[in-house]
Amino acid sequence: MSQWYPKKGRIIFHVDMNSFYASVEMAYNPELKGKPLAIAGNPEERKGIVVTSSYEARAKGVKTTMQLWQARRLCPELIVLRPNFDRYRTASKEIFQMLAEITPYVQPVSIDEGYMDVTAAEQHGNPVEIAQNLQEKINNKLDLPCSIGIAPNKFLAKMASDMKKPMGITILRKRDISEKLWPLPIEEMYGVGEKTAKKLRTFDINTIWDLANGDSYQLKQILGINGERLQNRANGVDTRAVDPDAVHEFKSIGSSQTLAEDTTDDAEIRILMHKLAENVERRMKRKKAAGKSVQIMIRYHDHKTVTRSRKLHQFIENKDDILYFANELFQKHWNSEPIRLLGITVQDVDEKQNIAKQLDLFTYEKEAEKEKLYEAIDNLSQKYGKNTFKQLQNDDKNEQPRTSFQKDFLDDFKK
């Protein structure tokens, strides 16, 4: 066992659920197994966006973020379902509970992936046995497939989990990187997005080997401090620890949503702005936080994206304040072209207990009055349902998927 558990260094797992949303739907309805399946925001809309798809659909060319009309052209027999986020959250919670039974050092990074530090988990067997048992347990109990990367650090574990899907277990040691990692195209490196890859290819950095062995000064000139970080990762260097409390670290809280169709309709935009502000308020309440800056994101029909923000004189946390400043930014910066996506984010966020707010007597009285009003509204909402005082004409049937899944719930498995 000693050869598996070094005196120095760590043993890190990256657990990545395979085609998670589609797999959950197949577990819920076994008749879907083996069929091309896509999860999309609005199956009835020609311009609905594919959130994820089964491997059978991927084999036909269906990809995430592809518009439904394109997916159906590639795969006429495609089955399309709306996302059921409550179902996915429940499955996620059960998965992370299984991980936590092996080690307390579990760090969720999204609804369907997370890291584990199993360096001190030798009572459960060697790392390969632990991975095999965990994979089988998730598959047997939840009928969900996953891939697991085993490595001495988080970056290599993440790269390893991507190397064999579905239901893969891959070991990636530092001595293996010249053979397994360096030959890969630069786009396949975790942390290198499309824009970064394009920049690197301009300088003939086409593979991870090119990055690992490139000129450090040139990389800093191209990518700034991120160039040094990526080169270290390409050489297998990553000192980040698996941090169970990382999910609580936040500097911003936001919500964004893709529209069913590109629009310039004021009423539709207004309804969405209210909904986004409400989402942000709810998440801030959950975090017991407030923020001192508001940002608006507008993505146009041609994918051009504009972000604008405003720093405030005091912290805000409620929907009306968030919506007021977001609307102000929107009206100032929208160029009246059709909109594909909108996002509202509160930045410079901190927990309220950490915010030292200096209040004079009049401000204190005003804030105290507002707190009583908010408490009364919350109590009425709990008794009679949301939007007791103001109902927006927004049909839930038209709900579209967010561009990113909020992480507020990721520590629920500990409760």
The alpha carbon of 349 is separated from its chain's Cα centroid by a whole number of angstroms, namely 18
pTM of the full structure? 0.71
Annotation says 113 is catalytic: yes
CATH architecture group of domain 183-234: Orthogonal Bundle (1.10)
Which one of 3.30.70.270, 2.40.40.20, 3.40.30.10, 3.30.1490.100 gives the CATH number of domain 252-414? 3.30.1490.100
Identify the CA nearest to 400 among candidates 145, 72, 5, 51: 51
| In the chain, ranges of CATH 3.30.70.270 domains | 12-19+86-177
Class of domain 12-19+86-177: alpha beta
> Which of 194-203, 246-255, 265-274, 340-349 has the weakest average pLDDT?
246-255
Residue 349 has pLDDT above 80, yes or no: yes
Q: Binning pLDDT at 50, 70 and 90, where does residue 412 land?
A: confident
CA atoms lying within 13 Å on the CB side of residue 111: 18
Is 395 annotated in some ligand binding site? Answer: no
The beta-carbon contacts of 1-9 under 8 Å, at least 24 apart in sequence, are: 1/122, 1/126, 4/122, 4/126, 4/127, 5/119, 5/122, 5/126, 9/119, 9/152
DSSP 103: -
pLDDT by residue (tens digit) across 89-102? 999 999 999 999 99
d(CA 297, CA 305): 7
Residue ranges of the chain that CATH labels 3.40.1170.60 = 21-84
Question: Helix, strand, or coil here: 156?
Answer: helix
- Residue 16 annotated as lining a ligand binding site: yes
What are the residues facing 81 on neighbouring strands?
39
User: Which burial class, exposed, middle or buried, applies to 34 when counting CB atoms under 10 A from its CB (0-12, 13-18, 19+)?
Assistant: exposed
pLDDT single digits (tens) 275-305: 999 999 998 888 888 999 999 999 998 888 9
Say if residue 397's pLDDT is above 70.
Answer: no
Tokens of 183: 């030959």
Task: Provide CATH code, domain 21-84.
Answer: 3.40.1170.60
> Out of 25, 113, 278, 281, which one is annotated catalytic?
113
Tokens 């977001």 sit on residue: 326
Bond before 43 cis per omega within 30 degrees: no
Domain with CATH 1.10.150.20 in the chain: 183-234
Among 27-41, 162-176, 224-238, 250-264, the minimum mean pLDDT is found in 250-264
